[in-house]
Amino acid sequence: MTRAISILILSAFVLSSCGAVRESRLNPFNWFGRGEPVELDAARESNPLIPQRSVFAARRPDKSYSGVPVLQVTDLRVDRKPGGALIVATGITERIGAYDTRLVLEGVEGSTRVYALRTLYNPGITAVGTSLARTVTAGVRVSDDDLAGISRIRLVSASNALESRR
């Protein structure tokens, strides 16, 4: 019994001295100092292991999209997501019967990424309808690599444009 108690007391003393070794130079974890937080620029935050294009894109034939710009853009929202952003746009079309609405990349002008809200119309329907019936929404996901160096996102339509800044 005394042997177990003496081992217990001795191990308590040995373990209590670990606090002093934790701060000393004998501990190899202290050799390079403590880590300090540093800010990374947007170009370094992107993952270089993610390919720029899909590996299957070369096998797929390019299909042209013949959508026309919507009449008016009413809302532009850019939501940050892990690994990029989600751009969501809402607009009002000229008439009801719109389908396959997309955000199409028009190009990059300096630090501005320009999108157009485009849609296809059903050829049989020509009624105008209310603005609520003509409202369409589309979204596109953009990676951090695509957003590197971009400070503004502009959305254009047939009659107006909206812009969002970082």
Which phi and psi (to 5°) does residue 16 adopt? -70, -25
Percent of the chain with pLDDT over 90: 39
SS3 109: strand
- This prediction has a pTM of 0.64
In 3D space, the residue among 121, 47, 119 whose CA is nearest the CA of residue 82 turns out to be: 47
35: number of Cβ within 10 Å: 6
Distance CA 21, CA 59 (A): 61
The model's pLDDT over 106-157, given as tens digits with 9 standing for 90+, comes to 999 999 999 999 999 988 877 888 999 999 999 999 998 888 888 899 999 9
In 3D space, the residue among 101, 102, 115 whose CA is nearest the CA of residue 146 turns out to be: 115
